[in-house]
Structure 1
Amino acid sequence: MGRRILNDALRTIVNAERRGKATANLQPISTVMTSFLKIMKSRGYIIDFQVFDPHRVGKITVELQGRINDCRAIMYREDIKAKDIEQYRLRTLPTHQWGYVVITTPNGVLDHEEAIRQNVGGQVLGYFH
Protein backbone atom coordinates (compact mmCIF):
# COMPACT_ATOMS: atom_id res chain seq x y z
CA MET A 1 0.00 0.00 0.00
CA GLY A 2 1.37 3.36 -0.91
CA ARG A 3 1.67 5.70 2.03
CA ARG A 4 0.76 8.58 -0.23
CA ILE A 5 -2.76 7.15 -0.60
CA LEU A 6 -3.14 7.04 3.19
CA ASN A 7 -1.69 10.53 3.60
CA ASP A 8 -4.03 11.99 0.95
CA ALA A 9 -7.02 10.39 2.67
CA LEU A 10 -6.03 11.73 6.09
CA ARG A 11 -5.46 15.21 4.69
CA THR A 12 -8.93 15.07 3.09
CA ILE A 13 -10.41 14.27 6.51
CA VAL A 14 -8.55 17.18 8.16
CA ASN A 15 -9.61 19.62 5.43
CA ALA A 16 -13.26 18.54 5.73
CA GLU A 17 -13.07 18.97 9.52
CA ARG A 18 -11.64 22.47 9.19
CA ARG A 19 -14.40 23.47 6.77
CA GLY A 20 -17.04 22.15 9.15
CA LYS A 21 -18.37 19.43 6.87
CA ALA A 22 -20.27 16.45 8.23
CA THR A 23 -18.76 13.84 5.88
CA ALA A 24 -15.61 13.22 3.88
CA ASN A 25 -15.30 11.01 0.79
CA LEU A 26 -12.06 9.08 0.39
CA GLN A 27 -10.93 7.47 -2.85
CA PRO A 28 -8.98 5.24 -3.64
CA ILE A 29 -9.03 2.95 -0.60
CA SER A 30 -6.92 0.23 0.96
CA THR A 31 -7.15 -2.23 3.83
CA VAL A 32 -4.57 -0.27 5.84
CA MET A 33 -6.76 2.82 5.49
CA THR A 34 -9.79 0.95 6.84
CA SER A 35 -7.70 -0.34 9.76
CA PHE A 36 -6.56 3.23 10.50
CA LEU A 37 -10.19 4.42 10.42
CA LYS A 38 -11.27 1.58 12.75
CA ILE A 39 -8.77 2.82 15.32
CA MET A 40 -10.02 6.39 14.90
CA LYS A 41 -13.60 5.19 15.37
CA SER A 42 -12.80 3.09 18.45
CA ARG A 43 -11.05 6.07 20.07
CA GLY A 44 -14.01 8.38 19.33
CA TYR A 45 -12.45 10.69 16.74
CA ILE A 46 -14.94 9.83 13.98
CA ILE A 47 -18.54 8.67 14.22
CA ASP A 48 -18.58 5.95 11.55
CA PHE A 49 -17.42 5.07 8.06
CA GLN A 50 -18.93 3.13 5.16
CA VAL A 51 -16.94 1.23 2.52
CA PHE A 52 -18.47 1.05 -0.97
CA ASP A 53 -17.26 -1.42 -3.65
CA PRO A 54 -14.04 -2.62 -1.96
CA HIS A 55 -13.09 -4.96 -4.85
CA ARG A 56 -12.49 -2.17 -7.33
CA VAL A 57 -11.17 1.34 -6.75
CA GLY A 58 -13.75 1.79 -4.01
CA LYS A 59 -14.88 4.71 -1.91
CA ILE A 60 -15.14 5.36 1.83
CA THR A 61 -17.58 7.85 3.32
CA VAL A 62 -16.49 9.03 6.77
CA GLU A 63 -18.94 10.68 9.20
CA LEU A 64 -16.97 13.35 11.04
CA GLN A 65 -17.40 14.36 14.65
CA GLY A 66 -15.44 17.61 14.66
CA ARG A 67 -12.76 16.35 17.03
CA ILE A 68 -9.73 15.91 14.75
CA ASN A 69 -7.13 18.68 14.87
CA ASP A 70 -4.52 16.96 12.73
CA CYS A 71 -3.77 13.52 11.34
CA ARG A 72 -0.89 12.53 9.10
CA ALA A 73 0.74 9.48 7.62
CA ILE A 74 4.48 9.09 8.06
CA MET A 75 5.80 8.95 4.50
CA TYR A 76 9.05 7.16 5.32
CA ARG A 77 9.22 3.77 6.96
CA GLU A 78 10.27 4.12 10.55
CA ASP A 79 10.81 0.98 12.58
CA ILE A 80 10.10 1.34 16.27
CA LYS A 81 10.77 -1.02 19.17
CA ALA A 82 8.21 -1.64 21.88
CA LYS A 83 10.34 0.13 24.50
CA ASP A 84 10.73 3.26 22.30
CA ILE A 85 7.02 3.79 21.53
CA GLU A 86 6.34 6.09 24.49
CA GLN A 87 9.36 8.25 23.69
CA TYR A 88 8.26 8.51 20.03
CA ARG A 89 4.74 9.49 21.12
CA LEU A 90 6.06 12.26 23.36
CA ARG A 91 8.18 13.57 20.50
CA THR A 92 5.45 13.43 17.84
CA LEU A 93 2.21 14.43 19.54
CA PRO A 94 1.72 18.00 20.78
CA THR A 95 0.35 17.09 24.21
CA HIS A 96 0.34 14.26 26.74
CA GLN A 97 -3.45 14.14 27.22
CA TRP A 98 -4.75 13.11 23.79
CA GLY A 99 -3.70 11.78 20.43
CA TYR A 100 -2.59 8.39 19.17
CA VAL A 101 0.27 7.00 17.13
CA VAL A 102 -0.78 4.19 14.78
CA ILE A 103 1.68 1.34 14.28
CA THR A 104 1.57 -1.66 11.98
CA THR A 105 2.78 -4.69 13.93
CA PRO A 106 2.86 -8.47 13.47
CA ASN A 107 -0.38 -8.49 15.51
CA GLY A 108 -2.09 -6.10 13.08
CA VAL A 109 -2.55 -2.34 12.96
CA LEU A 110 -2.60 -1.01 16.54
CA ASP A 111 -2.48 2.31 18.34
CA HIS A 112 0.42 3.04 20.66
CA GLU A 113 -1.44 2.12 23.87
CA GLU A 114 -2.40 -1.33 22.58
CA ALA A 115 1.12 -1.91 21.20
CA ILE A 116 2.64 -1.07 24.58
CA ARG A 117 0.10 -3.34 26.31
CA GLN A 118 1.01 -6.22 23.97
CA ASN A 119 4.74 -5.34 24.12
CA VAL A 120 5.16 -5.38 20.35
CA GLY A 121 6.92 -3.01 17.98
CA GLY A 122 6.57 -2.37 14.26
CA GLN A 123 6.49 0.41 11.69
CA VAL A 124 4.86 3.76 12.34
CA LEU A 125 1.97 4.46 9.94
CA GLY A 126 0.90 7.85 11.23
CA TYR A 127 -0.75 9.74 14.03
CA PHE A 128 -3.91 11.69 14.86
CA HIS A 129 -4.96 14.09 17.58
Structure 2
Amino acid sequence: MVRTSVLSDAMNSINNADRMGKRQVLIRPASKVTVEFLNIMQKNGYIGDLNKCGVISPRYNIKISEVEKWVTKLLPARQFGHIVLTTSAGVMDHNTARRKHVSGKILGFFY
Protein backbone atom coordinates (compact mmCIF):
# COMPACT_ATOMS: atom_id res chain seq x y z
CA MET A 1 0.00 0.00 0.00
CA VAL A 2 1.33 3.41 -0.97
CA ARG A 3 1.27 6.28 1.49
CA THR A 4 -0.12 9.40 -0.11
CA SER A 5 0.46 11.70 2.84
CA VAL A 6 2.59 10.99 5.89
CA LEU A 7 1.08 14.00 7.68
CA SER A 8 -2.46 12.77 7.04
CA ASP A 9 -1.63 9.29 8.33
CA ALA A 10 -0.09 10.81 11.47
CA MET A 11 -3.13 12.98 12.21
CA ASN A 12 -5.50 10.05 11.61
CA SER A 13 -3.55 7.84 14.00
CA ILE A 14 -3.59 10.60 16.64
CA ASN A 15 -7.37 11.03 16.27
CA ASN A 16 -7.96 7.27 16.44
CA ALA A 17 -5.76 6.84 19.51
CA ASP A 18 -7.53 9.73 21.23
CA ARG A 19 -10.94 8.15 20.59
CA MET A 20 -9.71 4.82 21.96
CA GLY A 21 -8.37 6.49 25.11
CA LYS A 22 -4.71 5.75 24.47
CA ARG A 23 -2.11 8.13 25.85
CA GLN A 24 0.72 7.39 23.42
CA VAL A 25 0.97 7.05 19.66
CA LEU A 26 3.93 5.82 17.64
CA ILE A 27 4.13 7.69 14.35
CA ARG A 28 6.33 6.19 11.67
CA PRO A 29 7.50 7.39 9.19
CA ALA A 30 7.73 11.00 10.27
CA SER A 31 8.61 13.85 7.93
CA LYS A 32 10.01 17.25 8.84
CA VAL A 33 6.60 18.79 8.22
CA THR A 34 4.98 16.28 10.61
CA VAL A 35 7.52 17.12 13.31
CA GLU A 36 6.95 20.86 12.86
CA PHE A 37 3.16 20.36 12.97
CA LEU A 38 3.47 18.43 16.24
CA ASN A 39 5.84 21.07 17.66
CA ILE A 40 3.24 23.77 16.99
CA MET A 41 0.59 21.62 18.68
CA GLN A 42 2.88 21.19 21.69
CA LYS A 43 3.71 24.91 21.93
CA ASN A 44 0.01 25.74 22.03
CA GLY A 45 -0.74 23.07 24.65
CA TYR A 46 -2.87 20.76 22.53
CA ILE A 47 -0.82 17.55 22.77
CA GLY A 48 -2.55 16.26 25.90
CA ASP A 49 -5.89 18.00 25.43
CA LEU A 50 -6.91 17.50 21.80
CA ASN A 51 -10.42 17.36 20.36
CA LYS A 52 -9.63 16.98 16.67
CA CYS A 53 -6.76 17.45 14.26
CA GLY A 54 -6.80 17.19 10.52
CA VAL A 55 -5.00 17.84 7.26
CA ILE A 56 -6.18 19.93 4.32
CA SER A 57 -5.40 18.24 1.03
CA PRO A 58 -4.56 19.64 -1.48
CA ARG A 59 -2.47 22.31 0.19
CA TYR A 60 -4.25 25.46 -0.95
CA ASN A 61 -2.44 28.77 -1.32
CA ILE A 62 -4.02 31.34 0.95
CA LYS A 63 -3.46 35.07 1.18
CA ILE A 64 -3.36 37.01 4.43
CA SER A 65 -6.80 38.42 3.64
CA GLU A 66 -8.22 34.88 3.22
CA VAL A 67 -7.04 33.55 6.59
CA GLU A 68 -10.22 34.68 8.38
CA LYS A 69 -12.37 32.83 5.84
CA TRP A 70 -10.48 29.59 6.50
CA VAL A 71 -10.68 30.11 10.27
CA THR A 72 -14.48 30.34 10.11
CA LYS A 73 -14.63 27.27 7.82
CA LEU A 74 -12.40 24.95 9.83
CA LEU A 75 -12.46 25.96 13.49
CA PRO A 76 -15.47 25.67 15.82
CA ALA A 77 -15.00 29.14 17.36
CA ARG A 78 -12.89 32.26 16.79
CA GLN A 79 -10.66 31.91 19.84
CA PHE A 80 -10.52 28.11 19.81
CA GLY A 81 -8.00 26.12 17.78
CA HIS A 82 -5.30 26.86 15.23
CA ILE A 83 -4.69 26.52 11.51
CA VAL A 84 -1.16 25.53 10.51
CA LEU A 85 0.46 27.14 7.46
CA THR A 86 3.72 26.52 5.69
CA THR A 87 5.22 29.85 4.67
CA SER A 88 8.50 31.22 3.39
CA ALA A 89 9.31 32.01 7.04
CA GLY A 90 8.69 28.40 8.14
CA VAL A 91 5.78 26.36 9.48
CA MET A 92 3.57 28.40 11.82
CA ASP A 93 0.00 28.83 13.02
CA HIS A 94 -2.35 31.42 11.57
CA ASN A 95 -1.93 33.90 14.45
CA THR A 96 1.86 34.00 14.05
CA ALA A 97 1.52 34.30 10.27
CA ARG A 98 -0.85 37.23 10.71
CA ARG A 99 1.58 38.92 13.12
CA LYS A 100 4.55 38.38 10.78
CA HIS A 101 2.43 39.40 7.76
CA VAL A 102 3.27 36.29 5.71
CA SER A 103 1.08 33.89 3.81
CA GLY A 104 1.57 30.47 2.28
CA LYS A 105 -0.01 27.05 1.92
CA ILE A 106 -2.45 25.59 4.41
CA LEU A 107 -1.35 22.30 6.03
CA GLY A 108 -4.05 21.50 8.54
CA PHE A 109 -5.82 22.40 11.75
CA PHE A 110 -6.24 21.31 15.34
CA TYR A 111 -8.54 22.18 18.23
Question: Structure 2 length normalisation: TM-score?
Answer: 0.92
> Of Structure 1 and Structure 2, which has the larger fraction of its residues in strand?
1
**Is the helix fraction higher in 1 or 2?**
2
**Percent identical:** 40
Q: Secondary structure at the match of 1:101?
A: strand
Query: Superposed, which structure 2 residues align to 1:71-86 within 5 Å?
Result: 71-86=53-68
1:3–1:74 contact (8 Å) kept in structure 2: no
In structure 1, how many angstroms separate the alpha carbons of the residues matched to 2:100 and 2:4? 25
1:29 aligned residue: 30
How many residues in Structure 1 have an aligned counterpart in Structure 2?
A: 109
Q: Structure 1: give runs of 5+ residues left out of the alignment.
A: 47-64
Out of 59, 62, 82, which is 1:100 matched to?
Answer: 82
Residue 15 of structure 2 aligns to which amino acid in structure 1? V
Distance change >3 Å, CA 80–CA 69, structure 1 → 2: same
1:56-113 per-residue CA deviation (whole Å, 9 max, x = no partner) reads xxxxxxxxx1x21111111112000012112211121122231100000000001000
* Structure of higher RCO (CA pairs closer than 8 Å, 6+ residues apart): 2
Q: How does 1:51-90 map to 2 (within 5 A)?
A: 65=48, 67-90=49-72
User: What is the deviation of 1:38?
Assistant: 0.5
Asked if 1:127 corresponds to 2:95, the answer is no
Q: Select 2:73's aligned residue among 83, 91, 95.
A: 91
Which residue does the alignment assign to 2:41?
Answer: 40
Tell me how large the CA RMSD over aligned residues is.
Answer: 1.3
Aligned match of 2:8: 7
Q: CA deviation at 1:3?
A: 6.3
